[in-house]
Structure 1
Amino acid sequence: MTLTPQWLDELRSRITLSTLIGRHVKVQRAGREYKACCPFHNEKTPSFTINDEKGFYHCFGCGAHGDAIRFMTDHQGLGFMDAVKELASEAGMAVPAPDPRAAQAAVARASLHDVCQAAQDWFAAQLGSALGEQARAYLKARGLTAETIQRFGIGFAPDSRTGIKSALGSINEDLLIEAGLLIKVDDKPSYDRFRGRIMIPIRDPRGRVIAFGGRILGQGEPKYLNSPDTPLFDKGRTLYNLHLAAPASRQSGRVVVVEGYMDVIALAQAGFGECVAPLGTALTEHQIERLWKMVDRPLLCFDGDGAGQKAAMRAASRALPLLRPGLSLGFVSLPAGQDPDDLVRASGPGAFTACIDRATGLLDHLWTHELNAAPLTSPEARAGLKARLNAHADTIADGDIKALYRREIGQRFSDMFFGARQPQTPGAAFRPGAKGQKGWQRRDEPVPPSEELREFSRQPMSDLILRGVLHGVLHRPALLMRHSEALSEFVGLAEGWADLLDAMLDASHAHSIQPDDAAETLDTARLMTILQDKGMADTIDRLKSGGRPPFSFCTAVQAEKDEAREIRIAGDFAEAIEVMTTRPRLVAALSEVTRRFEADLAENDSGDGLFLEQQQLRARKQQFDQRLIELTERSA
């Protein structure tokens, strides 16, 4: 099939873009164009424009841009040819015919779609019949509503070897076999593949039924049975619920991968429509690439048991060679012994949201997995940990990402096993993690922290550092602009200061997008005016009434700047942000390993490996506490 540029231009010219997009969002005329709230990201003020004359759309908020075909592929999740065919049908145009063999294959696929839809209709009817009573009871016990059952097309296959074979007897038996609905062995009569099972249709990105998954009622193996690969269905290239999750992910900004159909369905019922699942196999490279077309950081949420963790590690291993700048994976941990379905039924949607908010990165997941893989009670075992982690990094194809992974692994390894070592030479002191220092640093006259500094160190660490950062930004707004990305990620953890930090970031963003000839200098006075106009005066007073934290960057800018001093202050500010964002993760990890250690002692009266891990995390946390004290000791 050859689609010439001329043919594609004719197709675009016959489509009214504002009408096409208007089926999904409300559009309003604005002069010769149309405007709307962007269908690709959440916004309250329209920044999305549509130009019918030129045949393109553009969002000034998220940068989405394209024509009618691009809208169908990006917003509707269709493949290029599927998008072209749908638009051509609407425009009354005939898609150029393929060669005879391709045409024959297309006819066969169309026939299989009809077969699968007929099977779906029959399975749904059986669920509502007398034969489906036990299946309905099972679904009710799982907490599924009638609306959810209908939305996902759930049905039932009676326990009969010839149920669907007889029901669809008017359809050629070879087609039923090719669709995976019947099994044929040698010269023996064919029989139904799915018997005595809850039936869940698997759909393509356009929502067409292409296969089925069956969950057995009662005892038996396998518990879940999928259709075999067919001309319509390739389980390694298909994600369950993609047709519904793709639009939902554009609203939520995320996509969550869970293990099975029932997890997807239960989470959708609980309000998480952006969930998908692989189909009985580990997440494949193609599926990972498909997820990256939806979001830059898909979240993997597999069960906390051994099988789930192995599946998560297989996905991590497959993703590493594919990593590109800006693309990665996140990992969601669930309470021990619970899957997503269990969690939302027992604790509600908020519990699952909390787990998502605590998602860790790919490197963090690798580190934790390898740390728990074997006891680290000898130098050889510790060297093995580093070797395993570096082996993971070496599979990364992108040179920059590989180098950064190896550097981070080396730094973490050094911090864990060498950072807390005490000096063995008189007059020398080790300052773990001090900016610009490696290993040993001689300090001829170590000075203990003052009582005032000790008092500050006894305050909640995150609040102390965050108040210092906010003070620093008020005095040096340029630092806010330089570190806006890291600070944006911390807004959700800023508790009582979240509104102030958010307002500061808004001011920085508004300043950065102004034309150079219209921009005012964002100095302290200008920032204070903006914040007061936003109603932040009381919050600023509360910040100041708490005292000025003893950090170098909390001091006002001098009339005559000392360049070396300002460089040092900027370095201290960057280090404070690093401590602020890293230390909470250490605290959470220490809390979790302590919980596991206590549980292990209660059950097995052992836990040597967990005890060592606990002590290592505690040592690393103490290093960060020491870094805070060092920051407060540095004179302005």
Structure 2
Amino acid sequence: MSLSPQWLDELRSRITLSSVVQRTTRLTKAGREFKACCPFHNEKSPSFYVNDEKGFYHCFGCGVHGDAIRWMTDQRGLSFMDAVKELAAEAGIDVPAPDPRMAKQAEQRDSLHDVMAATQAWFVESLAASEGTKARAYLATRGFDAHTLQRFGFGYAPEARQALKGALSQFPEAKLIEAGLRIAVDDKEPYDRFRGRLMLPIEDARGRVIAFGGRILDKDKKDAPKYLNSPDTPLFDKGRTLYNLHRASPASRQTGRVIVVEGYMDVVALSAAGFHESVAPLGTALTERQIEMLWRLVETPILCFDGDAAGQRAAMRAVTRALPLLRPAHSLRIVRMPSGLDPDDLIKRDGPRAMEDVLSKAQSLLDTLWEHERDSVPLNTPEDKAGLKARLLAHVETIADQDIRGLYKRELMDRFSEFAYPPRQPRDQGSWQSNGQGQRRDSGKWRDKNRSPFAGPSPSGNAARLRHATSGGARDALSAAILVGLIRFPGEIARHAEALARCPGLDPRFDLLLDASDHGQALESDMLATILVRQGQAMPSSMDYGGMRFGFLSLDATPAQACAEMAQAIELLVERPALETALMDATERLNREFTDEAYAEQQRLLKRKLEFESRLGQMASARAALPSGDASKTMAE
């Protein structure tokens, strides 16, 4: 019977490996894994680990490694099919009935494996023969030692169009064509695909040769591709294969990382320098299937593509492929290689330590996405900046996981706001020019020097009490009152999310409310209260806003009236930072220039500030406030 790889993957995904292993081996919880003394060799301290999330076990002592099926065959002594049937019964899925076509395909693949193994042996022989002189000379320039050459199986494909057919005459022509080794065009005689190339075998997860990659050696053949891979065959699917995976997999368990580079020669160079956990896609951008394969090894693989424009485009294609797949604790990190260098170039120039330094500075997926979109086009106009925002949100919308999508949106919009609306920094306030009577001269007028132009007339009444109750920034009274209002009317959070996201220095509790709204579910007051408490945040109370009487918190206000007044309060909250920044700038200009124009601008802004405080004072005394205590009394409404 032949079982498809897809069915076997489904079986593995439905089995909890630790539960299978624990039937015969005692396991102890160790973080996100389980550990035990290895059942395959004698040891006194545990070096055998089981990882349910990745679906494999591994012993760091003897090197044994496998999945649930391998455990049943190696440790329990069952045949492959008996192991599969027992696990399928446990998982509650049916073993597919025997399929004659599948059996024939399995037989076909077995025979193709024989073809590929014989071809690999012939390529290695050709490299050592006289005809491989040019290939050996090229390898000498790369500086690979004999162990590296043998380990990766370098070979040589001779120039002749019919050389492979003659060397593998024991196999029929149809098998050589099916294996991708020969090319048939219409009614012409087939010819060898690989000619005059340095050859590298491409192997599957079990180390069997399934395809080849060849590098051209004759620089005069300008029309020929520099690198040529096997086509897709019954053995080889380039979108589901990672070069060097069978070697990188055990190495990654030692280092805790996987390095993804652009091509197999980069993998060989990294491995020769001690980075054995390196893999590469095969002539295509990193696919969704390959990303999932990487996540079975480590939670955050490192993409290390070339520092040129093409390499960075490849990195971004991988980022966009990964976004819809993101799940908790699983992401990518991206390395920016020095401009114009690939990993092999960097190691040759500066040594392995330089490569290690580059890897240590790998960026998060989010950082890479932000910097790429920010730097991809000039951002000189409001329209340009709006385009940046649209591109960022378009990326965010592709993320399937609701929690991650909400967090990405919040983080990217925070960065966008800081970039598009940067706060103006205060400058030196200048010096006073005194007339000896405690006054200074501003544009022909003498004013009291103890009265800052910034402050303007002192506010009184509710506005003064409001500002004094909890001073500015993230914990001011207006913010606290609006928090209470949003918890009372959760449906208003989404309506004002855009405005609140642009407002700097807000109470962190706003972020929690906005994140909850981003999930797209119906919100209730009790749910929001629970979210705040779980995140270690106190519920806002009337003390937070100094006992002021905001109309939109009144028990007498209708929902429509309260929401309308709260919208006005949010407008004030968003307006205040911009107004205060503008007034500070105008005051600085007045201190510096003392012109009529500067004085008029400062007075205009002072008037606006007084109007602002007047509106705020009126809003804070409109009706009787909630009686006392905490905002939970609004929840009952």
Question: TM-score, normalised on structure 1?
Answer: 0.57
1:265 to 259, 263, 268: 268
Structure 1: runs of 5 or more not aligned: 9-16, 22-31, 53-57, 442-563, 569-636
Task: Give 2:365's match in structure 1, choosing from 362, 365, 375.
Answer: 362
Give 1:423 shift: 8.1
Instruction: Give 1:417 deviation, angstroms.
Output: 2.8
Query: Which residue of structure 2 lines up, in the alignment, with residue 107 of structure 1?
Result: 107
User: In the TM superposition, what are the counterparts of 1:171-570 in structure 2 within 5 Å?
Assistant: 171-219=171-219, 220=221, 221-421=224-424, 426-427=454-455
Aligned equivalent of 1:606: none
Q: 2:334·2:362 contact (CA, 8 Å) conserved in 1?
A: yes
The DSSP-based 3-state class of the residue aligned with 2:202 is: strand
Once the 2 structures are TM-superposed, how far is the Cα of residue 98 of structure 1 from its aligned partner?
Answer: 3.7
Distance 1:306 1:387 in 2: 23
Q: What does residue range 108-127 of structure 1 map to in structure 2 within 5 Å?
A: 108-127=108-127
Q: Which residue of 2 aligns with 1:163?
A: 163
Checking the alignment, whether the CA contact within 8 Å between 2:51 and 2:57 is kept in structure 1 is no
Instruction: Check 1:60–1:437 CA distance in 2 against 1; reply closer, same or farther (3 A cut).
Output: farther
CA shift, 1:410, in A, is 1.1
Where structure 2 has 5 or more consecutive residues not aligned to the other structure, the ranges are 9-16, 86-96, 428-452, 457-466, 481-539, 545-637
**1:416 Cα offset (Å):** 2.2
For residues 234 and 376 of structure 1, the distance between their equivalents in structure 2, rounded to whole angstroms, comes to 42
CA deviation after TM superposition for structure 1 residue 346, in Å: 1.1
Kept in 2, the 8 Å contact 1:304–1:336? The answer is yes
Counterparts of 1:595-606 in structure 2, within 5 Å, are none
Percent of aligned positions with the same letter in both sequences? 53
User: In 2, Cα distance between the equivalents of 1:195 and 1:293?
Assistant: 37
Shift of 1:233: 0.2
Partner secondary structure for residue 240 of structure 2: coil
1:212 alignment partner, SS class: strand
Deviations 1:446-500, CA, capped at 9 Å, x for gaps: xxxxxxxxxxxxxxxxxxxxxxxxxxxxxxxxxxxxxxxxxxxxxxxxxxxxxxx
Higher gyration radius (CA) = 2
- Deviations 1:300-347, CA, capped at 9 Å, x for gaps: 000011111111010000000011111100001111111001111111
Which amino acid counterpart does residue 128 of structure 2 have in structure 1?
A: G
* Structure-1 residue corresponding to 2:134: 134
Q: Secondary structure of 1:327's partner?
A: coil
**1:34 CA displacement:** 8.9
1:325 and 1:109, CA in 2 relative to 1: closer, same or farther beyond 3 A?
same
Deviation at 1:356, TM superposition (A): 0.6
SS at match of 1:202: strand
Task: List per-residue Cα deviations over 1:8-66 (Å, max 9, x = no partner).
Answer: 9xxxxxxxx9xxx9xxxxxxxxxx97999x9x99xxxx9633468xxxxx979976369
Kindly report the root-mean-square deviation, in angstroms, between the aligned alpha carbons of the 2 structures: 4.1
Q: Which position in structure 2 is the counterpart of 1:64?
A: 51
Structure-2 separation of matches of 1:134 and 1:117: 24
Whole-Å separation in 2 of the counterparts to 1:347 and 1:438:
57
Distance 1:137 1:231, change over 3 A: same
Tell me the CA shift for residue 414 of structure 1.
1.5
Name the amino acid aligned to 2:243. Y
Counterpart amino acid of residue 37 in structure 2: T
Cα offset for 1:420? 2.1
Q: Is the 8 A contact 2:326 2:401 kept in 1?
A: yes
Alpha carbons 1:135, 1:198 under 8 Å: kept: yes
Name the CA distance, whole Å, in 1 between partners of 2:474 and 2:355.
38
Q: Kindly tell me: are residues 92 and 411 of structure 1, through their superposed partners in 2, closer, same or farther at Cα, counting changes over 3 Å?
A: closer
Distance in 1, matches of 2:152 and 2:418, equals 50
How far apart, in 2, do the equivalents of 1:437 and 1:284 lie?
49
Please tell me the residue identity of whatever aligns with 2:36.
F
- Determine if contact 1:256/1:300 at 8 Å carries over to the other structure: yes
How far is the alpha carbon of 1:80 from its aligned partner?
6.9
Give distance in 2, aligned partners of 1:170 and 1:60: 47
Q: For 1:322, give the aligned amino acid.
A: L
Q: Shift in Å at residue 85 of structure 1?
A: 9.9
Q: 1:357 to 1:275 in 2, by over 3 A?
A: same
Distance 2:476 2:353 in 1: 43
Name the residue aligned to 1:49: 37
- Secondary structure at the aligned position of 2:336 is classed as coil
* CA shift digits 1:406-438 (9 cap, x unpaired): 100111112223232358993499xxx965689
Residue 378 of structure 2 aligns to a residue whose secondary structure is coil
1:602 is matched with which residue? none
In 1, are the aligned partners of 2:196 and 2:217 still within 8 Å (CA)?
yes
Q: Distance in 2 between matches of 1:421 and 1:262?
A: 50
Distance in 2 of aligned mates of 1:85 and 1:178? 35
Q: Tell me, yes or no, if the aligned pair for 1:77 and 1:206 is still in contact at 8 Å.
A: no
Q: Report if the CA contact (8 A) 2:73-2:80 is conserved.
A: no
SS of equivalent to 1:372: helix
Within a 5 Å distance, the mapping from 1:589-600 to structure 2 comes to none
CA–CA distance in structure 1, aligned partners of residues 210 and 130 of structure 2: 27
Matched residue, 2:510: none
Q: For residue 64 of structure 1, what is the amino acid of its counterpart? A: N
Q: Deviations over 1:529-560 (max 9, x none)?
A: xxxxxxxxxxxxxxxxxxxxxxxxxxxxxxxx
Q: Deviation of residue 145 (structure 1)?
A: 1.1
Q: 2 CA distance for matches of 1:265 and 1:438?
A: 62
Aligned to 1:236, the other structure's residue is in SS state helix
SS in 1 for 2:243: coil
Amino acid at match of 1:426: F
1:100 to partner: Cα distance: 1.9
2:152 & 2:104 partners in 1: Cα distance? Answer: 31
- 1:225 is paired with a residue whose SS is strand
**Whole-Å separation in 2 of the counterparts to 1:153 and 1:192:** 20
More moved, 163-172 vs 218-227: 218-227
Q: CA 1:406–1:129 in structure 2 vs 1: closer, same or farther (change >3 Å)?
A: same
Counterpart Cα distance in 2 of 1:323 and 1:117? 38
Q: Distance between the aligned counterparts of 1:166 and 1:306, measured in 2?
A: 43
Return closer, same or farther for 1:60/1:195 CA change in 2, 3 Å cut-off. closer
Q: Given residue 417 of structure 2, which amino acid in structure 1 is its aligned partner?
A: S
- Cα shift at 1:71: 3.2
Q: Distance in 2 between matches of 1:439 and 1:328?
A: 39
Change (3 A) 1:111 1:76: farther
Alignment check: 8 A CA contact 1:59 1:65 kept: no
CA distance in 2, matches of 1:393, 1:93: 44
- Cα contact 1:76–1:247 (8 A) shared by 2: no
Deviation at 1:91, TM superposition (A): 5.3
Secondary structure class of the residue paired with 1:71: strand
Q: Residue 203 and residue 50 in structure 1: after superposition, are their counterparts in 2 closer, same or farther (change >3 A)?
A: same
Q: Contact 1:78 / 1:205 at 8 angstroms: preserved in 2?
A: no
CA distance in 1, matches of 2:363, 2:425: 31
Aligned residue number for residue 431 of structure 2: none
Cα 1:212–1:438 change in 2 (3 A) is farther
